[in-house]
Every structure is written in structure tokens, then in C-alpha cells.
A and B are shown apart, each in its own frame.
Chain A
């Protein structure tokens, strides 16, 4: 694929490469600066692998002071900086530029403090999402946002994209679980935003930085909310003869005052793909399937699942499979959590991330099917039904350039459909480079200019993660 344009590298920066790298070496230990092309290769892309660019250099600082020194140096040299966590972005948020320094946070992965009375943890930004939960588990706590890549992805990346996960219906996304950050701005200034208090003084700059896609500054440390583990959690698997029936069931569950921790939806192609891979016992003949998980004591879970299955029966549920053990719970989730990997076994795919009002679900599923078929391709759907965050997987063959381009075009049409019905381009993956050129579908010029001016307060020269989020032809606003 080559449909997405990159800013042209600045020949003047490329010509000064040796001096720029020497300056970085003067600031950091020997092993923290990479400029050998072979060693740079792992940093040339992220999980949006269709695009790649070899960066000028990679730095791997170990402290906020080192990050500040690197940013100050790059500001003096006029060099763009691309922050990077684990490089799991599906929207190309961490893809480098040839004239940019990649600032990797991987070596800042320590947990600094746990406070169970305040229900907070202080961590460095390069810690993985799951490592936070692992570290606080012995105290009976967990960190709630749980993106599918949680084993690998870093908190810094989660903050940049305001990542979600399967359980955000009850617990919210990253921004709802973030109390403070240490932010280093483009010129190397270190600012502390927020604290262990429940709300910041002044403007909610923590809320602004979260989801800023690395363009407002580099987050080096964070204070996150940790939550007490529930007494128990159990899912029920519900199969339906149509997407409409599954959608109506979700609406009635919520209408009945029940807020499960997760409601996951899979359509027939997704059910078949996941079952073939995970042998989770999914009903492969069903048109639609829900995994609904609730929490609490055994008795509370029993009562809530009974309410949910009673509602499902009114909507023609064909299979009800309640988990009775931890093994069964793991099995039910295994199919869903391996959806992307299982799909990758049978075809290449691109994963879209639009959000729609849940009431428009059956209509949107039908129209998505038409769009993808119109391009001669197939689509499988897995998504967070409680919040309308879709993840259509458009299947194609990477060795057929025609198919790749058609898959990209189908994806763009689907995202335009999401906006048309009142939703948005991205629910949790971020804009990155992937959806950059679609931003005008969702925002007016004045709205983009307003966001641009806010970004410029933090990074007036636009050196942090350039070429992302905003269309390249967006003129700096006066």
C-alpha cells in the first residue's frame, strides 16, 4: 500500500545527521543511541506495517532528565521527534520519518510506587499495560483499561491514544483512569500535571494530553487509578439468528438497568474464524454472538446472568452458555481475544476502529457488508457492542496490490459511514497516519484549526510526531 503521503524529509537535517547523532551521544550513555541501519530496522514501522521509514536515529533514555536533554537538543537542531512505546499502534502513530529521531520509552518501565489507600500507582511511561495489573494484583487491585495488545503495549502509548479495551463499558478508557503525568514539552521543559488528588487545579491538561497522540509532549511518568479486584467475574455466551436480534438484546439489557463490564459482539464470519483457531465452543451456525460479562459475588453474578438470559430469550437466543468455572471463562474469552491473530492466519486484514451509536448497529452491519462486497472483498466483525466501537476486519491478500488498495478504500468508506450515522473515525486506536486524511469527514476547517492552535501552544514548531493526525495541507492558523 502506498496511498498515504509522508512529509518530504528535510535535506538539511539529513546532511547534518552525523552532528545530530554526535550531540545525542554526548547526552546519553553509549548503548542508548542507535544509528546503525541494521539496528534501526526494528523501529521503521509499528503495527500498521504497510508503511515504513528508517529514522535518522533512535534514542532509548532511562530518565525524565535524559528525555528532556534529548528534546532540548533536537529543538536546537530543528529535528522532528517521534515518541515510541512498544510500537503496537494500529494507526501508524509511532511510524518514524526519515529526518526524525525516534524517542523510545522502553527502558523507562519501572513501577515507582503503589498506594492502596489512595488507589493509585506511579509508573514510568514505558511500563507495559499488563505489568501494572501484575504489580498491583498481590494487593488485590488491577488497572482497568485492557487493550487487546496489553501484554506488549506501554502505558505511554495508551496515554497517547487514550486506549480502551473490552471492559471500558463499566470502567472507562485511559482518560478515566489517569490522574497525573510528567510531561516533557518540545523544548525540553518538564511540567507536572495533576497529582494523586482526584482532580487537577486549573484547566484539565491531563485530559488534554491523554489522546494527544504524542504531539503535545512526551509523557515520561504517570499516576494511574488502580481499582480493587471484583470478588468474581463470569461471562455468558449468547447466540442469535440475526444481528438485529443481538442488537435488540443489548439495548434491552441496558434499558433494564444492567451495566455489564463487557458486551462483545461477533458476526458469523468472525465466529467461524475464531472457532477454527481457538476451539472455544462457539456456535458456528449462529449469525451473531454476544459475550456478556458481569462481576460480583457468586450470588450477584447468578442473579444478573439470570436477568440477562431472560432478556435474551425474549429475543430468540439459540444458544446460552454460562461459564461455570475459571476454565470455561478463559475458553469463552480465548476465542474473542484471539480474533485478530486468528484472522491473520487465514488472510491479511486491516482492522478498522470506528464508533457508531449502538441503535444504528443492524443498519451499519448491513451497509458495511455491501461496501466490502462492492470492492470484491470479505469482512468479519468483532466489536464492543455496549459502546458501539466497531472493529471490522477487512480480509485481503497482501500479495495482490489491487486488493490492498481496495481494502484501504473499503476501510475509508466504512469510516465515512460511521461519521454519517453520528459516530466517529476512531474509538480507541487513534488517528495516526491511517485516518489523518479522513479528518475532514468528521471536522470542519474551523474545528481542525482550533485543535491545531491548541497543539501549537505546546509545540509551536510542530516537531513532535509530525505528519500525523492533521491533514498535511492544513495551513498553520493565524
Chain B
């Protein structure tokens, strides 16, 4: 059964119906990330395609709100027309997952999907200032609002952002936005090994020059030679000054080339979307969230046990890793290395068989699992939303 409510009110009625019939549902936005997580077998699908449109945009207040099913493209175009943008540069998973469809606002928020600019401008959860949603009781509720500073009551906005649709059906999301940078340029250091590149990136992020991207493509990933990249965005004169200062401060790592204009923009788009690891298609792709300075060390530990190709973003705090699906697709060594460094790992791409075999999301410790289960009960007592998507049996 497919439910596609055309209004928030109809969405609440749809959830009430699911509750009455005890019918769990998979929530679907644009359908571009359906291949992430455990395969969910539900009798019903609850689609947000009918919840569409920008409901508020005040450029002078740097705030925008859109219904959950609004295509991200539509929202970004409206912002660009006024010289603004979503600060967190949301990743588009289509190239990596080979998926069709249109990413939606709700899908971005449900997964807290943030791109390279996170190191400077924060994540999706930092830009999200308000939500409207339907809980598992079929009640339409709000948390946060349209103002940037709001500490009234519990911050359910943060809880829903990155919850993968396990708590509620998002119906509307409000973001703070930023001006589009006047200009951008990228400094490129060539030929560094992973450890040296990781050190360069964390050093650069500790300067006052505010790189808005800090990534490393090892040799053979994306191009021939290894490339270590720092992006600067802002007023033209300002970023040239900052590039000079950064290049001088990092001269010990080699001479920095510069990439500007469309070449720079398309390079960061491909990093954002992890395009260099999209092929070969049959490889599993993991996403590791780590303390930034531990990035290269964690990869070295994994490499000792398993062949893999990697891409570093967020100064080393985000590692994308492609490896063969054979066995556990590296789950044991990957999780062990990430955990030892204080991080965690998620399988973002894998075949149905692999996702049935191993846990895609980091299994929580017992006390964390108890809190998460309690919170799910508090929102969705019947377990209607995306059951089993993140963890088996929950």
C-alpha cells in the first residue's frame, strides 16, 4: 500500500490509519537513498511527494522553510536566485548509489547529510532551526521555529535530524542560510602520502584563514597523483590574501598550485558526492566518522588487513572507503579501527545480500541502545516508521 498525502493534515490522517491497522511503513522522499541500511520489508510506503513547496523565505533574515517533499534542487535554485545557499553543502548520493529520482529536503534532514563545507559552516543539524512533523500517534507537532536563537523546551530538532525517519514523519523543515560566496579557489598540494596530507589538512584548519573544504585524494583516486586540497570561499580579495598566507604557512609540504572557477567547483562537487569511489560498482563503500587527526592512522590499520581505496574529507574527520564485498566487506577491521580512534563506521553502499549479512549502521552500546529505544517509544510507540532500517529488531 502506498500513501502519498497531499497535505500535512492528510499526512497525520495517513499515520493515524497506519496506527489503527498496525501497519508499519517505509518513509520515502525522492527515493535516492533507499539502498542505504537494512532492507525494510513493510506492507506500506509513506511518501512525501505530495508535501511540496517553499513556505517561507526571508533573505534579509537568512531563513528559509520548505515542505519535506520539496526537491532539494528547487530549494537551492530559489536560494541562488537571491544570492544565498544552504550552508552545509548537502551530498547527493545518486552518483555513488547509482540511484535515480530527486533528493528532497526531508531526506537531507533525515540523514543529516552534509558536505565538504561542514568544516567551516557546520552540518545540516547546525543549520536546521525548526521542524514540523507527524509522530507515530498521528499528531502534527513542531519543534524550534524560524528564529536562529531558540532554547524554548527540548531541542527535538536535533533529535530528528539524522534519525533516518525512525521517530517521525517530517513535514516541513526550516533552515538558516548563508550568502553565496562571491568567489572561491582551491590550493592543491601534489604527491603527499596519507599521513602527511592528514597533517597538512589539520594544520590548515587550525589557522585563522578558514578553509571551507579540506580533502585528500590519494594516488589513483580521481586522478593520477595524490592531491591534497584546501578550498577558500568569500570576497575575491579576501580569499586571494588568505590563499597566499596559507600557501606560505604550508610551504614545508610543497608548492601549492591553484584551481579556480568551474574547475574548482566541479572538483568539490565530485568530492562532496564521493564520485572518485563510485566505480567499480560492485565494491562496498563505507563512511567513517573520526577525530580528524586520526584519519590516516585508522586507514593504515584497516589497510594492514584489507585492500581498499579511500577519500578523505573534513580534514581527515570523514573517510570514505571502498573495498570488496567478500566476507564481511571489512566490517570487523573497519569498525575495530574506527572505534579504537573514538569514531564509528556506516556501510553506505552494499548489495542486498551484504546488507542482510552485516549491520550497516554502528551497533550502539547497551546503555545507548536503551536510550534510543526509549526515545523511539516516546515518538512512535507502535514502531510504525522505518522498522529495522537502522538496527535489526527495532
Contact = CB atoms under 8 A, between A and B. Distances in A.
B145 A211 contact: no
B153 A443 contact: yes
A50 interface: no
Contacts of A286: none
Give the residue among A162, A199, A426 with the most B Cβ atoms within 10 A: A199
Interface in B101-159: 112, 118, 122-123, 125-126, 135, 139, 141-143, 145-159
B371 A117 contact: no
A384 interface: yes
Nearest to A165: B149
Interface string B361-379: 1101001100110110111
Given A117-B292, A426-B151, A450-B379, A198 B159 contact: no
A206 B155 CA distance: 10
A189 B367 contact: yes
A201 B178 contact: no
A430 interface: yes
Interface size on A, as a range, is 35 or more
A176 interface: yes
B237 A197 contact: no
Nearest to B162: A204
Given A115-B293, A196-B291, A208 B151 contact: no
A116 B203 CA distance: 9
Contacts of A208: 154-156, 158-159
B20 to A, nearest CB: 17
A197 B145 contact: no
B205 interface: yes
A285 interface: no
Interface string A438-474: 0100111011101101111110000000000100000
Interface string B50-86: 0000000011111100000000000000000001000
B148 A387 contact: yes
Interface in A215-272: 228-231, 251-252, 254-259
B314 A198 contact: yes
A255 B155 contact: no
B247 to A, nearest CB: 15
A309 interface: no
B149 A384 contact: yes
Interface string A397-437: 00000000000000000000000001111111111000100
Contacts of A426: 150-152
A428 B149 contact: yes
A22 interface: no
A204 B123 CA distance: 12
Given A196-B342, A300-B238, A430-B151, A228 B375 contact: no
B151 A119 contact: no
A325 B150 CA distance: 35
Contact of A251 (B60, B161, B205, B371): B60
Interface stretch (A41-49, A77-85, A95-103, A354-362): A354-362
Interface residues of B, number: 75
B243 to A, nearest CB: 12
Contacts of B311: none
Given A201-B289, A431-B152, A207 B123 contact: no
A422 B147 contact: yes
B206 interface: yes
Given A199-B162, A450-B135, A162 B155 contact: yes
A389 B61 contact: no
A117 B141 CA distance: 41
A257 B83 contact: yes
B180 A257 contact: yes
A276 B250 CA distance: 50
A197 B378 contact: no
A175 interface: yes
A356 B63 CA distance: 12
A233 to B, nearest CB: 10
B376 to A, nearest CB: 9
A257 B202 contact: no
B207 interface: yes
A423 B207 CA distance: 36
Contacts of A55: none
A447 B149 contact: no
Interface in A25-49: none
Contact of A212 (B154, B292, B317): B154
B61 A358 contact: yes
B362 A117 contact: no
Interface in B201-243: 202-203, 205-208, 235, 237-238, 241
A296 interface: yes
B371 A453 contact: no
A203 interface: yes
Interface in B149-177: 149-159, 161-163, 167
Contacts of B371: 191, 203, 205, 457-458
Nearest to B145: A424
B282 interface: no
B283 interface: no
B344 interface: yes
Contacts of B141: 444, 446-447, 450
A464 to B, nearest CB: 13
Contacts of B145: 422-424
A382 interface: no
Contacts of A118: 202, 291-293
Nearest to B122: A176
B182 interface: yes
A359 B60 CA distance: 8
A207 B61 contact: no
B192 interface: no
Contacts of B182: 257
Given A176-B126, A228-B206, A454-B159, A446 B152 contact: no
B72 to A, nearest CB: 20
Given A229-B208, A300-B238, A198 B118 contact: yes
Contact of A387 (B118, B135, B149): B149
B321 interface: no
A117 B204 CA distance: 9
Interface string A152-174: 00000000011010001100110
Give the residue among B148, B153, B290 with the most A Cβ atoms within 10 A: B153
A8 interface: no
Nearest to B144: A424
A116 B225 CA distance: 29
Q: Which 6 A-B pairs have the closest CB atoms?
A: A207-B158, A257-B179, A457-B374, A196-B291, A427-B149, A251-B60
Given A115-B293, A198-B318, A202-B372, 10 more contacts: A117-B293, A197-B290, A201-B362, A203-B159, A205-B368, A355-B147, A359-B60, A427-B151, A451-B156, A457-B375
10 contacts: A195-B291, A197-B342, A204-B125, A208-B158, A212-B155, A251-B61, A357-B58, A444-B141, A454-B378, A469-B153
Interface of A: 115-120, 140-141, 161-162, 164, 168-169, 172-173, 175-176, 189, 191, 193, 195-199, 201-208, 210-212, 228-231, 251-252, 254-259, 296-297, 299-300, 303-304, 355-359, 384, 387-389, 422-431, 435, 439, 442-444, 446-448, 450-451, 453-458, 469
Interface of B: 58-63, 83, 112, 118, 122-123, 125-126, 135, 139, 141-143, 145-159, 161-163, 167, 178-180, 182, 199, 202-203, 205-208, 235, 237-238, 241, 289-293, 314, 317-318, 342-344, 361-362, 364, 367-368, 371-372, 374-375, 377-379
